[in-house]
Amino acid sequence: MTLRLFDSATRTVRDFVPLVSGQVGIYLCGATVQAPPHVGHLRSAVAFDVLVRWLRRTGHRVTLVRNVTDIDDKILAKAPQAGRPWWAFALANERAFTAAYDALGVLPPDYEPRATGHVPEMVDLMRTLVESGHAYQAGPGDVYFDVRSWPRYGELTNQRLDDMVDTPDEGGAKHDPHDFALWKSPKPGEPADAAWDTPFGRGRPGWHLECSAMSRRYLGDAFDIHGGGLDLRFPHHENEQAQSRAAGYGFARYWLHNGWVTQGGAKMSKSLGNSLLVSTVLTQVPAAVVRYALTAVQYRSMLEWTDETLPEAAAAWERLSGFVVRAGERVGQPDDEAVAGTAVPADFAAALDDDLNVPAALAVVHEVLRTGNSALARGDDEATTTALAGLRAMLDAIGLDPASPQWRTAGGDDRAARALGALIDAEIAARAAARAARDFTTADAIRDRLTAAGIAVEDGRDGARWSLAGEA
């Protein structure tokens, strides 16, 4: 089956055909580092990490570019409140994002450009737009894109220009209320080092200009996929596309947008006061649990974060990791290279090829988990080995293989899990022996002890299997 992705530009699910066969260029809008990351910030990184992993597993060479916006109005406003230079404030938050990405097993991008490091490319793009009549200088250090000069403005979000809400124009310098800033002159009180000299005057970049310049620098005039959160579609991505194509560049061929993390139906954000800092959440649960919670919902769907989100994810993770540990002790773990080379079940592959339908893929994962637990309970080593290899291969494809270096070394001493598994297996064996001897009083007592400890025992034709209470 061919990978099919929902293209936000055409609002259809399309076969994914790379610009160059076997190679994929992805530009992902990264963080504006005005504050430490909350869980909502990580949704995009995890969602596109799954895409990158799946593309690579299916034989593609992927180049991922994820930018850092390290200068903007909010950074310049918040840095003095924190008592730090704006660039030091931005760097501290950038490092917090990097730590969060690493903790959740997000693969590092191939390139992670900062806006402040790409001013020459931005100046070149501005010059092209001004010379072609698509942008104009409104004053020293102020350059705007002329939206009326680009008849296709609004095509990404399917809007008519005349129906759009006017944007602020404090200085009255715009030709049209919808024109947007490519370059901004310094505001009173801003640090002197937060501006650059250019042919258009001293100033700093507009947000939209940054991404067009950086994506072209690392991926060329045209590339395969541009991604980001749903909230970036307008105006950010609309403006990116307009200025890049007005400059003569093919720009992105597919647009992918992930849904938000919401609380009470509202987008998780600092401004609403409903954020959950990643650093805080990771003191409560293992990072793998947070990743599972963010991964388990299809990337385009909204993820409603409730009091049950982490407990449910923790229970699922414990079932998966518990089986991997117990099965590995019984039959041995395949090495990481073998896991990477193991074919995933066809139903799992079909689910991910269907616009990264992770919930459907996880349904296959849990079916294999049930099969593996049954095989383990009845001592069928061959079936256990097959289930273990298949389970780990599928979880590896979405960044959640419990026996991978990421999770077997990431804050987890698994001796407790191993000890628990061994004790339960011993109880199950003792119960089976009691039943075989028709000592049902002892067998029932063992089952009652396990139930009281939160262990569910299910008898089947192939013997008993156990799971944590509540396992599907």
**Per-residue pLDDT reduced to its tens digit, 307-360:** 999 999 999 999 999 999 999 999 999 998 999 999 999 999 999 999 999 999
Structural contact between residues 262 and 268, judged by C-beta atoms closer than 8 angstroms: yes
**Largest separation between any pair of C-alpha atoms in the chain:** 94
pLDDT confidence band for 460 (50 / 70 / 90): confident
Map out the domains of the chain as residue ranges.
Answer: 4-258, 307-468
pLDDT at 385: 96
Residue 126 predicted with pLDDT over 80: yes
Please choose, from the candidates 108, 96, 239, 245, the residue with its C-alpha nearest in 3D space to the C-alpha of residue 178: 239
Residue 53 predicted with pLDDT over 50: yes
pLDDT confidence band for 171 (50 / 70 / 90): low
- 243-289 residue pLDDT tens: 999 999 999 999 999 999 998 888 887 665 666 889 889 988 999 99
Residue 66 predicted with pLDDT over 80: yes
CATH class of the 4-258 domain in this structure: alpha beta
Q: Report, as an integer, the average pLDDT of 144-154.
A: 97
pTM: 0.85
Residue 368 predicted with pLDDT over 60: yes
Q: Report, as an integer, the average pLDDT of 369-378.
A: 96
Non-local (6+) Cβ contacts of 90 within 8 A are 33, 34, 70, 71, 75, 79
Residue 47 predicted with pLDDT over 80: yes
